[in-house]
Structure 1
């Protein structure tokens, strides 16, 4: 069974490599063709060309605008003929877009699974990601065996749009926790303590978490090469703000956390791993010590 795969950023490339290692025959497409060629797998000329040769496509791009272009734009999937085919969108999307994409593809006789991923490069390499899936349950069951090749936990959550809502709720916690860890470590360093000691204490106390576990090496080595970028978490929190507003709900923290990443973007950190936020707080001073 040949499967299409679109989007070879840091996480997409890790998932594609994992699927290939697990025996899935892939046909790739990426906006920057060189990134696709690096994997040594067949590469299509366009999304339209790709969908004409497969029955299902996995898609993971930067945001809903990019997803819309790939699916519905010029030379997009729909121009290659999507009737009877399944598009599995692992992008962290705006929840309203995920619902709209499902409805638009249904009109064309195609199927859309809203399937955002929890986790980043390291769990992807180990096949330990978590996926949230919304859409037709029958199509979820048809594709579950493929999800099992790179995901440890798989949640079917009902209609399309639900998975994106849950992913945004998760990333409210993710962004907030990275922000408070970064703030605590930076303030601790400014107070005269070594980062190694601070991380050890947080790991043994209130900061103990999966996030600190996977970011510990980066924080200690000051290595901010991207696994999950400032740009991405900022985008996700912007989508989460829309969700909170549309629900008529209220958050005391979301806007402030999003603004921390917005400032990091403004200062040129957008393309770095979001753990770089610790360096932002070291630069922010209200007065000279």
Structure 2
């Protein structure tokens, strides 16, 4: 009678037996993840992976930046090669293309130590040419590679809602989707090797001119005697709205120039985009102007400020 009133109870012994079996066997093994590059965005991305339960192996040129992760259970590696030897998947999030080159092809680089079947994911904003070079070298060693730059800044890295632009083989992309889902929400395979980096250039080109527009809007509001915060409330909800307006203008107004994304790295990205555009015979005047303005700020010591420090150009 009890089972007729509560028929679902009959299933509990089977459910519990399956649960105990999984616990006894340890369940499906989680991929061991290596993470190289613990800067403004990388450290939050690595922390999210650790919070999700992934065994984490970390390397950074400055070990002090890894301390919070080590306290959370991550394991320190002394070189990129050691990181590769201990990991199933290695994610790199470093500063410049020359850093990527060193991490992958250097004396203690990833490609010299990665085991067959290891997946190498470069999430640095780098060049499409280098992404293709890594893919070719990886395949020669029976290793898999993806280029997967991101957008969303420090806020997106902390919240785990980055946009991830991926280039590489679809089968590899599908294999690492669970890892990407910890780091971001808008995750799109754009095409073959280098496609992720080309897409990131599209992203940076759009941001570059937009940053000039949102900054000039704030400067104009102040000059007209308006309350910039009230102006922001009105225009950010309309056609003028953008991620930069909603997330970076409030920092401008608060005098907060801490980097969610460094000016020096933005200049690097714009140089890459202009170089690629030149190869394709494209003239991008908006991007060129933005690069010029940011370079002037960098020359005055603002290279380590966040991109919202562009507003200082008008207070020179």
Tell me, in whole angstroms, the C-alpha distance in 2 between the residues paired with 1:78 and 1:161: 18
2:58 is aligned to 28
- Equivalent position SS for 1:236: helix
Tell me, in whole angstroms, the C-alpha distance in 2 between the residues paired with 1:166 and 1:205: 26
- Equivalent position SS for 2:41: helix
Tell me, in whole angstroms, the C-alpha distance in 1 between the residues paired with 2:281 and 2:35: 37
Q: Could you tell me which of 99, 110, 117 is aligned with 1:66?
A: 99
**CA distance 1:152–1:204, change in 2 (3 Å):** closer
- Equivalent position SS for 2:285: coil
Q: Is the 8 A contact 2:114 2:143 kept in 1?
A: no
* Residues 6-85 of structure 1 mapped to structure 2, 5 A cutoff: 6-39=36-69, 40=71, 41-85=74-118
Greater radius of gyration (CA): 2
Tell me, in whole angstroms, the C-alpha distance in 2 between the residues paired with 1:10 and 1:63: 14
Structure ranking higher on relative contact order (CA contacts 8 Å, 6+ apart): 1
Is 1:240 aligned to 2:273, yes or no? Answer: yes
* Residues 1-289 of structure 1 mapped to structure 2, 5 A cutoff: 1-39=31-69, 40=71, 41-283=74-316
Give me the CA root mean square deviation. Answer: 1.6
Normalised to the residue count of structure 1, the TM-score between the two structures is 0.93
Q: Is the 8 A contact 2:48 2:160 kept in 1?
A: yes
Tell me, in whole angstroms, the C-alpha distance in 2 between the residues paired with 1:124 and 1:78: 26
Q: Is the 8 A contact 1:48 1:79 kept in 2?
A: yes
Unaligned runs of 5+ in 1: 284-289
- Equivalent position SS for 1:267: helix
2:25 is aligned to none
Normalised to the residue count of structure 2, the TM-score between the two structures is 0.85
Tell me, in whole angstroms, the C-alpha distance in 1 between the residues paired with 2:100 and 2:181: 23
Unaligned runs of 5+ in 2: 1-30
Q: How many residues align?
A: 283
Question: Cα distance, 1:191 vs. partner?
Answer: 4.4
Question: Cα distance, 1:279 vs. partner?
Answer: 1.4
**CA displacement 1:78-105 (0-9 Å, x = unmatched):** 2324432110000101111111111122
- Equivalent position SS for 1:87: strand
Tell me, in whole angstroms, the C-alpha distance in 2 between the residues paired with 1:45 and 1:209: 41
Question: Cα distance, 1:132 vs. partner?
Answer: 1.1
